[in-house]
Amino acid sequence: MADELRGRVALVTGASRGIGRATALALARLGCDCAITYASNAAAAASVTDELVALGVRGLALAANLADPAAAGALVGQTIEALGRIDILVNNAGLTRDGLAVRMSDADWDEVITVDLSAAFRLCRAALRPMLRQRSGRIVNVSSVAGVAGNPGQANYSAAKAGLLGMTRSLAKEVGGRGITVNAVAPGFIDTDMTAGLGGAVAERALAAVPAGRMGTPEEVAAAIAFLASPAAGYVNGHVLVVDGGLTGL
């Protein structure tokens, strides 16, 4: 198991912290070389690449503005140029701009849709070209239970994350015959910087709805992603793996 991804190359977006960082490290422990992207924290990204190298794989940090339509092709190209190929794409990068729908600005709607959904599509499109040529590949899109069940105050985020699920299922049907799988994970209440900003009362209400009685960890989500990226998941395609402690009952 330790070397089941030896010789493979992954591109993990938004991997300077949280679920993305945990995913890159989980893949590295299986022998996978990893390119990671970051938006602004170069020091944190450099620290992750140091951790990757310490695990015996190659690590590459790439700055990216995913709101730029040209970023996707550039990231895939840089990954292939530096690491030789691309076998795994994990679309993890995302942001929130929360607010009730009646007060949500067009800018807050557009920014979340652009980064959380449109950028993921462009990255899939760019990565699929070399994957189709090599007739193998794994794509894992990080959605959310907000995309499965909705969430008040997050119409933009929920729409983007639901869009990822529809895109995942469509792509799975398009490329499944070429040795490529496309799946998604839908994390619930996970202990990350995104949830750290919640007030105490909000966090308590959220936890009260989770049968597991606790927040999940980035490592638990990363383990699910690593499975879907592994050879063991070769017959899992178009699936949404919910990692939410029983919150949605799915």
Nearest of 81, 181, 90, 170 to residue 131 by alpha carbon = 181
Query: Choosing from 157, 160, 182, 185, which is the catalytic residue?
Result: 157
Identify whether the C-beta of residue 121 lies closer than 8 Å to the C-beta of residue 167: yes
3-state class (DSSP) for residue 204:
helix
Beta 9-12 vs 33-38: how paired, if at all?
A: parallel
Q: Respond yes or no: is residue 157 known to be catalytic.
A: yes
Torsion of the alpha carbons at 205, 21, 115 and 85, rounded to the nearest 10: -150
Structural contact between residues 28 and 57, judged by C-beta atoms closer than 8 angstroms: yes
Please name the residues in contact with 95: beta carbons below 8 A apart, sequence gap of 6 or more.
Answer: 111, 112, 115, 116
Q: Which residues are known to be catalytic?
A: 157
